[in-house]
Amino acid sequence: MRRLDFLRSRYVLPLLLAVNLLLLGTSIYLGFKSAEQMRQIVREDFNQQQLVLARHTASLLQQDIDFLKRELSTLNLSPSIQYLEPLTWANRMRFTLSSVREEGVVEIFRLNPEGTRAYLVNERGLDHVVSGTFKDAPYLAWASNPENKGRVYVSPVSTQVPNYVGRLIMAVAMPTYEESVDESHPHPTGAWSGVLVFYIDAHYLANKFTQQIKSGKTGYAWIVDNQGTFLSHPERDFIGKNAFTVRKQRMSAISFDAINEIQREKMLTGQEGWGTYISGWHGGLAGEIQKLIAYAPVKVGDPAFGQPANPTLSWSVAVVAPEQEVLGVVHSLYLRQFLIQVIIGFFVLSGTMVFLNFRYERQFSATLEEEVTRQKIQLQKTEARYQALVENAADLIYTVGEDGRIESLNRYAAELFAYAFPGKHSGEASPQLFVGHDLYDIFSKKSADFHREWLQEVKETGRTRSKRHQVTIGDMEFWFSTSIVGLKDEQGRIYAYEIISRNVTGRKAIEDRLISMEKLASIGTLAAGVAHEINNPIAVILGFTEHLLEKTDESPEVHETLQVIEEEGLKCKKIVENLLTFARSPERTETNADIHKIMEKLLAVVQNTLLTKKIRLESSLAPDLPRAKGDPQELQQVFINLINNAMDAMKGGGVLKVVTRRSPDGKRVAIEFGDTGNGIPKEAQTKIFDPFFTTKQTGEGTGLGLSVSYGIITKFGGNIIFASYPAEEYPEKHGTTFTVYLPLVTGAEPEAGAEGEESPLTIIS
């Protein structure tokens, strides 16, 4: 009865629970201890595998370096090199370069013993004979020592080698002696005749072996030389930087003492081994990440080749991987072990759970439901954030099936694709409207063919490539920078394609404008020279013509012929003056102008001309415009040229619209000149500001007007843009509008001259 009373006691439930918890806790503790031992074993095994990989890579790199030394020695035995035979030395170097180019050799050259002349073949296969002073080259002084005969000199990697500044260059050299026998030299002198040198791109050579190395899922390899400089690394901005400082510069909040000690005490002293260290990043992850590292040395300057008194040059190959990724391999095994322990504990606790109140069960159910709800909300938030990231991206992101039909797209892609249906999808287009459309429905045939060929290339090669290309959507042309990635199923078969395109149309326009500006500067220099050379003969011709005109009044036929010569000479003089005006590059003068006054005077001057040509003037001049930067006389020249071009475009009459206003950002003045002419042909619009380019008939203009005008406006920090609608494509709204933007004057600036005085107007057509 006492035993039954004890079981009914209120202490039995807590006691049983305490005993079971103690047993379960002991089981969990032992499980954690065994799991930790298992992690340590796996950690060491993985590092051993990484060490094997590092040794193998170092061995391959060592073989390549030894191969280069042998090739250097073989080339050094050639009579063409020893005696620098004029007809054969370059071909002999070029032949050797072709066999060692893939090992990173970028230049082979031979110095004469005086160090005054170098015979070289560079990486493009071009041979040169360079005269200069090379006496300070360390390998020349080294080669002059007879003790170094037959040995190979290896220099530390440097980024300051002439002609290769910024590249990681290593020099491998060998003394050259006249010892070989050929028909031209049957009795060699055996004298020292200089030094033969290979310039090797150390980054190219190192990257050749590390770029394909993959440890685990995301592990990689890198190489440092004995100076602690990264020769190869997945982080491109690390290459050529000091391994002890570049990590700290990138993430100063993390201590890199562990890896620095491994590098200083082990790797730079030519030792091999493995260890662990803390990194601040890996791939797209950031923060403190524990990594495993294995390293092996590469003897670059072996004593058998180099001078024994010097320390051996060595590089170190490191293979690293995140520890968490490695330990994930044993996670399933540990999980099974832990589950067995939990099951055992469950059976032990099952007797105790019989005595537990249903209240605990209800409490547990409520807690579990709350956790499930929280996780569900968290998952929904994560999905919403990802969806918002894609939808609000400033790039076109869309997927295309194997049949070339769009399966999904973001909002920005829908906005651009709407140009293909200007009447159907007006306003903000919904992405769902374009799902199911073929690429040929969105792009022009040429653009759609380009995309389909690219998709086929990705399917056949499996490689992801980025291209910059032109795309036509509806009536709009864009420049895209695009990457296409094949989406694969579990069998590795591509079932769809993800296309990410960035709209770089504005950037492409800027690049084209820079090219045009460089072309403009070059042609301007040429024009100045031509104009000055022609000006003097024209002056002589006009002078003699005027003299003969005075003496031939009684000979009408001769007098009339001389007048024709004078008229044609004056035309040439005008063209020369226009050339000089185009070529002249005056210094920028800090002056300012009242645009409103200039436009009022200008429109008063051309009013009668517009009436005679049946052109109606519609002007809207803002009277309260602030002063803008610019010289009044030069601005008059620009405005009258734009008006003159507009009148020439409206031969049968039309409407000239002139508007002055302040730009929307409030920092510039805008002056618009619009006509209702036939517009500028589409193929000519990209060349409209090029010098000597004109759409007028032969003899009606020189093609310098817009070039000079553009130069004047940009000199004062302004810009000229235009929009043109050719009559063939836009019969209802044809015409051209040029808009001049000038920056406002900031602060008080002195005026250059009195604007009230009339200044001459120069027209360059």
Instruction: Using pLDDT thresholds of 50, 70 and 90, give the confidence band for residue 121.
Output: very high
Q: Which residues contact 468 (CB under 8 A, 6 or more apart)?
A: 479, 480, 481, 482, 504, 508
User: pLDDT confidence of 318, banded at 50, 70, 90?
Assistant: very high
Mean pLDDT of the chain: 81
Q: What is the pLDDT of residue 661?
A: 94
Of residues 462 and 470, the one with the higher pLDDT is: 470
- Using 50, 70 and 90 to split pLDDT, how confident is the model at 198? very high
Residues 712 and 36: their CA atoms lie apart, in Å, by 76
Tokens standing for 253? Answer: 């909040």
Q: What percent of the chain has pLDDT over 70?
A: 80
Q: What is the pLDDT of residues 613-630, one digit of tens each?
A: 899 999 999 988 999 999
| Average pLDDT over every residue of 176-192 | 88
pLDDT at 710: 87
Q: State the virtual CA torsion across 106, 108, 113, 114 in degrees, nearest 10.
A: -50
63 or 591: which carries more pLDDT confidence? 63
Distance CA 383, CA 528 (A): 65
Question: 503-527 burial, b if ≥16 CB within 10 A, otherwise e?
Answer: bbeeebeeeeeeebeeebeebbeeb
Q: 390-404, 414-428, 558-572, 711-725: which range is least confident on average?
A: 414-428
pLDDT band at 1 (very low <50, low <70, confident <90, very high): very low
pLDDT at 464 over 70: yes
Structure confidence at residue 441 as a pLDDT band (50, 70, 90):
confident
Highest averaged pLDDT of the listed ranges 106-115, 597-606, 628-637: 106-115
Residue 741: per-residue pLDDT: 95
Output the six-digit token pair for 232.
């190869």
| Mean pLDDT, residues 673-689 | 85
Instruction: Tell me the C-alpha distance between 89 and 83, whole Å.
Output: 9
pLDDT at 305: 40
CA pair distance 237, 765, nearest whole angstrom: 52
Average pLDDT of the residues in 22-50: 74
Q: Determine the Cα–Cα distance for residues 224 and 562; give it in Å rounded to an integer.
A: 83
Looking at residue 328, what is its pLDDT? Answer: 67
Domains defined for the chain, CATH in brackets: 205-330 (3.30.450.20), 393-503 (3.30.450.20), 509-583 (1.10.287), 592-743 (3.30.565.10)
> What pLDDT sits at residue 214?
85
Mean pLDDT of 475-499: 87
